[in-house]
Amino acid sequence: MTESTSRPGKIIAIHLNYPSRADQRGRRPAAPSYFFKPSSSLAPSGGTVERPAGTELLAFEGEVALIIGTRARWVSVDDAWSHVASVTASNDLGLYDLRANDKGSNVRNKGGDGYTPLGPELIDARTVDPTGLRVRAWVNGELRQDDTTADLLFPFPQLIADLSQHLTLEPGDIILTGTPAGSSVIVPGDVVEIEVDAPDAPGAPSSGRLLTTVTQGERAFDPAVGSMPSVDDLQREEAWGSREEAGLPPAPAKWTLSPEIRAQLMEAPTAGLSAQLRKRGHHSCFIDGVSANIAGTKIVGTAKTLRFVPFREDLFKSHGGGYNAQKRAFDAVEEGEIIVIEARGDASTGTLGDILALRAKARGAAGVVSDGGVRDFAAVAEIGLPVFSQGAHPSVLGRKHVPWDVDVTIACGGAAVQPGDVIVGDSDGVVVIPPHLVEEVVAETLAQEEEDAWIALQVEAGNPVDGLFPMNAEWRAKYDARDQEA
């Protein structure tokens, strides 16, 4: 290692970048976010790192470290990689006991002495493809992480270009580029090894194995001068990588729509469901202004929400491109869910098209409800994905909307919709049912449908509706006695 890398001016680390890690955490950011680490956290290969007294959740993270070779300010993505001198291995250690204390800045949980081991060898960046690197990590000889840079959320040149918009990257600065799934807790006595290599490059260059041994610290933090370590089950789950690895009981099961209730809802008309909801004081259960793209369609499912906000140039620049909220919603929709889109009732722009419809159908979505328009309308219908919307519109994203957020409470067609709400749509329209009401509402609806069918038979037989619809005592007695008569 060189002197310039032993004391860089800046160490910048990204929070999430590997799809495997993002999936493990259950979130995929639309843009990269960063934190700083102090240069005093650097450590060489073969060194030790202390787990402070009174703490339990020291975790390793194998990462690819980029070492800047030439000054970079306002560089393009195409030119960004030329500013990297070297690539090597790093262990972005973190103490989850202190994670909540600095609200994402990671000053204390990531900034401790020895928390950024680096090396041991440098790989010349000119000899490797930034998409062709591999990072692996072992704990006590057992392989724990093994991933490549082929499909990062934010490729390395993008990180350099992005950072260079905000600050000058100088020779010797280090960028830690994220860790894949497999990061976990380490304890005193554990030996962690990290290696970065380019297996398909000429000569298969490697950083060699970066070794760090965990030791037990003797000094505890002083409550008189700062916040103290604190852990909960969420920190344990994220530090270990899973509830199972952390020794925690399984998380409470997510509420789901049972096959039995789903089947009953398929039989229940929205007109009947809305009547039952009104009886229970729910008068704003309708998603107004939408109709089915496929005549006769019936949809039943739970809501996965997507929110658009009005178009604004700077907001679209920050949230409209890349892996935006719209793409995240369609990529993450689960079987039986219905994507419900808040487009503020504006039919003059498309809120999805054929590609996203294909993705939703492939994921097993039960349908889409949007209070905006749909582009590629005929193609979406041909795909067979049921969509309730305000109709066709040819415009692309960015005319009126900015995709803003997923899995939040939204307003669609005048109705409040929360993630997990039950959505039912048919030729009469679309209704929203709170999950805690769905069983009694559908049972009462089907009972009322049976009653209405019997009344219809009496009307067909020539009986007047007065006293029959609704039934008076005489007709009610006849209805109650129908099974005995049969």
Residue 263 lies in a domain: yes
Query: For residues 343 and 113, what is the distance between their CA atoms, to the nearest angstrom?
Result: 49
Please indicate, yes or no, whether residues 275 and 380 belong to a single structural domain of this protein.
Answer: yes
Which residues touch 162 (CB under 8 Å, ≥6 apart)? 31, 32, 154
Residue 191 lies in a domain: yes
Please indicate, yes or no, whether residues 405 and 480 belong to a single structural domain of this protein.
Answer: no
Residue 221 lies in a domain: yes
Closest C-alpha to 7, from 170, 163, 141: 170
Query: For residues 180 and 135, what is the distance between their CA atoms, to the nearest angstrom?
Result: 8
Q: Which secondary structure element, helix H or strand E, spans residue 382, and what is its range?
A: helix 377-383
Please indicate, yes or no, whether residues 181 and 287 belong to a single structural domain of this protein.
Answer: no
Please indicate, yes or no, whether residues 151 and 280 belong to a single structural domain of this protein.
Answer: no
Confirm or deny that 356 is annotated as ligand binding.
yes
Please indicate, yes or no, whether residues 302 and 449 belong to a single structural domain of this protein.
Answer: no
Half-sphere exposure (Cβ direction) of 35: Cα atoms closer than 13 Å: 18
CATH number at residue 204: 3.90.850.10
Please tell me the pTM assigned to this model: 0.60
Please indicate, yes or no, whether residues 131 and 181 belong to a single structural domain of this protein.
Answer: yes
Domain span at residue 460 reads 440-485
Dihedral sign, CA of 179, 184, 188, 189? negative
CATH number at residue 396: 3.50.30.40
The answer to whether 316 and 395 are in contact (CB under 8 A) is no
pLDDT tens-place string over residues 67-113: 999 999 999 999 999 999 999 999 999 999 998 777 778 898 999 99
Query: For residues 262 and 265, what is the distance between their CA atoms, to the nearest angstrom?
Result: 5
Residue 230 lies in a domain: yes
Query: For residues 464 and 471, what is the distance between their CA atoms, to the nearest angstrom?
Result: 11
DSSP-derived 3-state class of residue 481: coil
* CA distances from residue 280 to 140, 433, 459 in whole angstroms, order as listed: 61, 11, 29
Tokens of 145: 């992480």
Please indicate, yes or no, whether residues 180 and 32 belong to a single structural domain of this protein.
Answer: yes
Please indicate, yes or no, whether residues 444 and 425 belong to a single structural domain of this protein.
Answer: no
Query: For residues 154 and 157, what is the distance between their CA atoms, to the nearest angstrom?
Result: 8
Tokens of 319: 């949230």
| DSSP at 333 | P
Helix 438-460, helix 270-279: angle, nearest 10: 120
Instruction: Look at residue 227 in the predicted model and tell me its pLDDT.
Output: 79
Give all strands (DSSP E) within 62-207, no chain letters.
62-68, 84-91, 94-95, 116-117, 123-124, 134-139, 142-148, 174-176, 191-197
Query: For residues 399 and 417, what is the distance between their CA atoms, to the nearest angstrom?
Result: 24
Confirm or deny that 341 is annotated as ligand binding.
no
Please indicate, yes or no, whether residues 458 and 408 belong to a single structural domain of this protein.
Answer: no
Instruction: Look at residue 478 in the predicted model and tell me its pLDDT.
Output: 85
Query: For residues 444 and 463, what is the distance between their CA atoms, to the nearest angstrom?
Result: 25
Please indicate, yes or no, whether residues 74 and 127 belong to a single structural domain of this protein.
Answer: yes
Count of domains for the chain = 3
Instruction: Look at residue 2 in the predicted model and tell me its pLDDT.
Output: 41
Residue 253 lies in a domain: no
Residue 246 lies in a domain: no
Please indicate, yes or no, whether residues 309 and 382 belong to a single structural domain of this protein.
Answer: yes
Please indicate, yes or no, whether residues 165 and 37 belong to a single structural domain of this protein.
Answer: yes
Query: For residues 347 and 156, what is the distance between their CA atoms, to the nearest angstrom?
Result: 39
Q: Which secondary structure element, helix H or strand E, spans residue 237, and what is its range?
A: helix 233-240
What counts of helices (H) and strands (E) characterise the chain?
A: 15, 26
Query: For residues 191 and 187, what is the distance between their CA atoms, to the nearest angstrom?
Result: 9
pLDDT tens-place string over residues 313-333: 988 888 888 788 899 899 989
* CA distances from residue 19 to 110, 151, 201, 254, 322 in whole angstroms, order as listed: 22, 7, 23, 23, 14
The answer to whether 182 and 145 are in contact (CB under 8 A) is yes
Query: For residues 91 and 65, what is the distance between their CA atoms, to the nearest angstrom?
Result: 9
Residue 247 lies in a domain: no
Residue 245 lies in a domain: no
Tell me the one-letter amino acid at 256.
T
Query: For residues 118 and 133, what is the distance between their CA atoms, to the nearest angstrom?
Result: 16
Below-70 pLDDT ranges, the chain:
1-6, 483-486
Characterize the bridge pairing of strands 94-95 and 58-59: antiparallel
Reported residue count of the chain is 486
Confirm or deny that 200 is annotated as ligand binding.
no
Query: For residues 328 and 27, what is the distance between their CA atoms, to the nearest angstrom?
Result: 9
